[in-house]
Each structure stands twice: as C-alpha cells, then as structure tokens.
Amino acid sequence: MMLSREVGRRMLARGARGSIINITSTAGESARTGGSHYCGSKAALNMLTNTMAIELGPTGIRVNSVAPGLVMDSVMSWEHPPADEYALALLKGIPIGRTARGEEIASAVLFLADNDRASYVNGAIVNVTGGGHAGRAHLPPSRRAERKS
C-alpha cells in the first residue's frame, strides 16, 4: 500500500502518465480458514487498487492489479501430480488441471503496463488462475443441477 501510494505521488509530482500494477491474490476475494491476515491484506490491496484508479485515472495514471492463482516452484499437473495432499486438493480446484508458470503471471503484468494495448484498463483485478477463481470445479455437481426440468 505504501509503495503504491508513494509511486503515485512521485508520478503526479513529475506529471508522469502510465501504470501502477499491484500484485494481489485470489485470496482477496475468497476466504480461507486460518488466512484472515493474508486474505484481509489482499482484499485491502484490491480496494486500494480501485480507489487509486478513481483518484489517479483523470491524471493519466492507470492502477490495476494482477491476482495470481497457485504458482509453485515447479508446475504441478495431472501428468505430474503433487505428493502433498493439500497441494493435490488445490490442484483439483483448477479447471485447466495445472498450476501457473511465473511467465504467465508476468505476461498479465506486461499487458497492463502497455499504455497502448491496455489504455482503457483501469481499476481491474486481473485473475490469472487457470479458472481456479471461477468456482468450485472440484466438487461434484449439486443434486439440483442433476434434476431435469
């Protein structure tokens, strides 16, 4: 928060236009048991992104965030499943069946930093999750969904 605010102040003082990109997490939108400190801080960063986008947008400074999903030291997939039960449970919640590569997160950041291609993107939280943020793909269909009309 303090870094984003200070960058914004310095950009304003120089009359600079451009982009501030925060790195947040899907935890800012999805509560996790035992994660109140982490989830709360990421939710606050999401709101800071939105507020700064409103405040700085008129000056030509865009403010956005990238919210990565699960990124590991090495990519986990169904072809290379993790041995850890917790990591396996997380993998089950990713519809494309693998964790992210660091380059995929960097690509989203580079897009947002591009003042031509992303010139109208302001106040966005870009989820880079393989669909893991979209719902509970790892759960069986609800009984209601199985009923015929």
Helices and strands, number each (H, E), in the chain: 5, 3
- Looking at residue 142, what DSSP letter applies? P
Residues whose CB is less than 8 angstroms from the CB of residue 1 and which lie 6 or more positions away in sequence, other chains included? 44, 45, 48
Q: Is-catalytic flag, 120?
A: no
Q: How far is CA 43 from CA 23, 28, 65, in A?
A: 12, 4, 11
Per annotation, catalytic residue among 38, 86, 92, 120: 38
Q: Is-catalytic flag, 86?
A: no
- Return the active site residues: 38, 42
